[in-house]
A and B are shown apart, each in its own frame.
Chain A
């Protein structure tokens, strides 16, 4: 989760983008899968395309790899038009969802494939294959066939088969989705370490928001073929632009209400705000709400009473569902503190209630993407 802090250079749009997607749309027959997508990627950046299934994230990846052609728009890489080139001419390599290792070739031949088709000298191939296999700690498996390897091992081979070609950009299509939870966590950290080490830009597709948060320099959230928001993990979590983003990334309470005379009123809660008057929706993260006590001093504190309806324990923390009157239920995440019940005083800082944009329906969703600040 520290990626954003460690790589602040991606907070500003780079002058010479490695990859630039300009107004790309894609339709299959009558179905519009991507609607006017524009985004930029810097070299060395780890960008994640996040979204539900059917959001168009894999289609965007396939457009960049060259397996599909955009219906309109352009894709550029290093000041060169990319979308008119066939896949085998693009300096882009892909790690496929189910690895797509060649079953008739052993591990060494799989990894060497890209170099062989480019007629690289044999001596050079041998050395680079060795190096690429060592990089993913698979050197001892060079002579076995992929079918005999576990999912995690096949994953590593797929990675080294792509990276041996020294692409400027590596595309990863849900590469970890077939792995079980533990292995997945381990591969996540290895993937991140590898990416930092070799400095190649990664464009990573996933539907798992935790994975996106853990790995990315920036996250591009897609919804029904449109870009909902693109920002660093910290930014997108702390300042979600839309209600959809706020709910998709982490958990949140959406408070619906009105702003009048500089006061926001959502059900039984109210606080002073500088936002423009009118109907408004605020996102308030569960962990921003605390149980009030005398020693706790918050700026612009908003206090309210609530009855604990449910308590869900999850190890380090617990989630409370509290009823704070007028049909309003809020979720509150507190550090694990033993069984609680009855009525309590709660408090949150008005600054943590982030005004968000709410698009009425999925299909009418406006693109609220903005350049990262």
Chain B
């Protein structure tokens, strides 16, 4: 047994860290969301004006809807890419498995910003993609909608979050005991039926975890719209950023942040419950 003093000493640094860098900022954000700005000055006067503005001004709702749509598209696209990839690696890659796994992981070590600028270079009017299409005479002038559109944001975020989706799915698939797959075939199920009846249901926890990663991370993203999105792809985090910056309306920014936080937390809570429901020993 450890002494109480020892436990206190060990627990103090992380506790301090959590209080200072997590609870305190959250408390400040929460408090700010009930204050207001008057004549360019922050007034510590408790009110619900920020939340009222959020729910009455259609602009915020539209941006939020767009954000959710983009996040959902990213989730869907990275699932469509990540799941087959994880399935192939886990079940059919054979001795190449380790190498391929590392190749999937490598992009995670590359700076997010670098990858953003890379997409800018690829998608721009005089970018790699347009140059290539014109070289092949598929298009005859630069196509402008590649860059600065929701499409570009979805593309970039999908590229960035697919490894995040891949990882938990791969882990879940690796966890499936191979005799179960053999038992299914033994009982008369071909590959397709085995996939649908055994592999897919048993990989649901990984699938949910991956989808949650992609959705939540996309929901709060502000760099992708900034780099490749343009005005038509402004997301909720960009609004928050501008409210805390040029617009100087911290209380409204804080109110939006509180809403996003609540949505995210309830989403995480729900998927965790679902994951538990689909976990079997």
Contacts and interface: CB of A to CB of B under 8 A. Distances in A.
A118 B188 contact: yes
A147 B193 CA distance: 23
A93 B185 CA distance: 10
Interface stretch (A97-105, A193-201, A227-235, A356-364): A97-105
A116 to B, nearest CB: 8
Interface residues of A, number: 27
Contact of A117 (B180, B182, B187): B187
A104 B198 CA distance: 8
B197 interface: yes
A125 to B, nearest CB: 13
Contacts of A114: 187-188
B187 A165 contact: yes
Contacts of B201: 104
B77 interface: no
Interface string B153-189: 0000000000000000000000001011011111111
Nearest to A92: B186
A104 B190 contact: no
Contacts of A118: 188
Contacts of B276: none
A237 to B, nearest CB: 33
Interface in A55-95: 65-67, 86-88, 92-94
A94 B186 contact: yes
Nearest to B182: A67
A104 B197 CA distance: 10
A65 B186 CA distance: 7
Contact of A88 (B180, B188, B202): B188
Contacts of A67: 182, 185
A281 B232 CA distance: 92
A117 B179 contact: no
A97 B198 CA distance: 19
A93 B187 contact: yes
A117 B197 contact: yes
Contacts of B185: 66-67, 86-88
A118 B197 CA distance: 13
A161 interface: yes
A248 interface: no
Contacts of B202: 103-104
A88 B197 contact: no
Contacts of B187: 88, 93, 113-114, 117, 161-162, 165
A113 B202 CA distance: 15
Contact of B182 (A92, A100, A165): A100
Nearest to B180: A100
B273 to A, nearest CB: 17
Interface in A108-151: 113-114, 116-118, 145, 147
B135 interface: no
B2 interface: no
B197 A93 contact: no
A145 B277 CA distance: 13
Contacts of B180: 100, 102-103
22 contacts: A66-B185, A67-B185, A87-B186, A88-B189, A92-B186, A93-B187, A94-B186, A96-B183, A98-B179, A100-B182, A101-B183, A102-B198, A103-B180, A103-B202, A103-B280, A103-B281, A104-B201, A104-B280, A113-B189, A117-B184, A117-B188, A161-B187
Given A102-B184, A117-B189, 12 more contacts: A66-B186, A86-B185, A88-B186, A88-B187, A92-B186, A93-B186, A96-B183, A100-B177, A101-B183, A114-B188, A118-B188, A165-B188
Interface of B: 177, 179-180, 182-190, 193, 197-198, 201-202, 278, 280-281
